[in-house]
Amino acid sequence: MSNDKMVGALTAVLASAIWGVLPIYWKLLANIPPVQILAHRILWSFIFALLLSVIFGRWDDVKKVFYDKRDLKLIFYASFIITLNWGLYIWAVNSNHILQTSMGYYINPLSSVLLGMIVFKEKLNVLQKAAIALAVAGVSILIFQYGRIPWVALGLAGTFSIYGVIKKLVKMDPMVGIVFEAGFTTPFAIMYLLYKQNNGLGIFGNVSTSIFLLVMASGIITALPLILLADAAKKIPFSTLGLTQYVSPSLSLLIGVFIYGEDFTTAHLTCFCFIWCGLFLYTLSQTDLARKRSCKRKANVTRHS
């Protein structure tokens, strides 16, 4: 592996690892209501992304978006979908549902494949169909054992997959994307925070300096992994990038069980095993697809040389 690819792989792992340890970060803010944490995350993400776009010379790219009504409309929809995702995730972590968040992000690649079939009429190969069937079987077993639908996991997977579909339709730099995704909902976040502060329930003057700084840092922890991932995507194959996405839910699973002591029963293990088997098949299908594309490109180069 070349140095460039090695750096790209490590960057992708770092991005996924940051997402993976987020439960610890949100738990540090557990005394703040989830909706208020969400509002701050939106506000500080917007401010941080806006500053970065100016510092890294992306301001012209930001301005160009205003002239593309189609992209502007799509990113408007994406902003509210990702807000739902962020809010559900924060609530889930601080309500002791870290295992479900892990399950949700394990399922996400498979739900994205399913949405791709529905929205973009993409054809699924045998491995992809088997992968989805295994994930459905795993979740069904958990529902049967507990008599409850893991709606947090399904909600996170669903919202992030829909967000991914919209983002696929919009070719936009991640930094610029955050400016608009957070920007559309920032006015609502500010109004909510002002209302809470006016009623004496805001964090200003009511939390320690360290907690306030942690709240402000929510902008950094939102933007940084996306920037790292975008950089990694330029250096490594898509199949390698896909493998690194499993670092995040794996870390969250370990954190939920071993740090916060969430129940991990036989039913959970069975469910996760089905999902892991499905992801193994999905990864095989992606690797095979990448190999075929590589062979096709080489054949074309040989033909025209």
Q: What pLDDT, on a 0 to 100 scale, did the predictor assign at position 86?
A: 96
Identify the residue with better confidence: 160 or 242: 160
Domain span including residue 185:
3-127+149-266
Q: Could you tell me what percent of the chain has a pLDDT over 90? A: 53
Q: What pLDDT, on a 0 to 100 scale, did the predictor assign at position 261?
A: 95
The answer to whether residue 33 is domain-embedded is: yes
Q: What pLDDT, on a 0 to 100 scale, did the predictor assign at position 256?
A: 96
The answer to whether residue 20 is domain-embedded is: yes
Average pLDDT over residues 97-103: 95
pLDDT in tens, 255-269: 999 999 999 989 899
Among residues 56, 67, 25, which one has the least CA distance to residue 215?
Answer: 25
The answer to whether residue 194 is domain-embedded is: yes
Cβ-in-10-Å burial (0-12, 13-18, 19+) of 207 comes to: middle
Confidence of residue 167 (pLDDT cuts 50, 70, 90): confident
Q: What phi and psi, each to the nearest 5 degrees, are found at residue 257? A: -80, -50
CA distance 131 to 282: 6
The answer to whether residue 135 is domain-embedded is: no
CA distance 269 to 138: 9
Q: What pLDDT, on a 0 to 100 scale, did the predictor assign at position 291?
A: 67
CA distance 60 to 69: 16
Contact 178, 43 (CB under 8 A): no
Q: What pLDDT, on a 0 to 100 scale, did the predictor assign at position 8?
A: 84
The answer to whether residue 40 is domain-embedded is: yes
Measured N-to-C along each axis, helices 34-55 and 69-94 cross at an angle, to the nearest 10 degrees, of 140
- Total-model pTM: 0.89
Contact 45, 224 (CB under 8 A): no
Q: Count the domains in the chain.
A: 1
The answer to whether residue 166 is domain-embedded is: yes
Confidence of residue 164 (pLDDT cuts 50, 70, 90): confident
Confidence of residue 112 (pLDDT cuts 50, 70, 90): confident
Q: What pLDDT, on a 0 to 100 scale, did the predictor assign at position 146?
A: 75
The answer to whether residue 39 is domain-embedded is: yes
Rg (CA), the chain: 20
Confidence of residue 233 (pLDDT cuts 50, 70, 90): confident
Token reading at 103: 């399950």
| Residue 79 in this model has a pLDDT that exceeds 80 | yes
The answer to whether residue 249 is domain-embedded is: yes
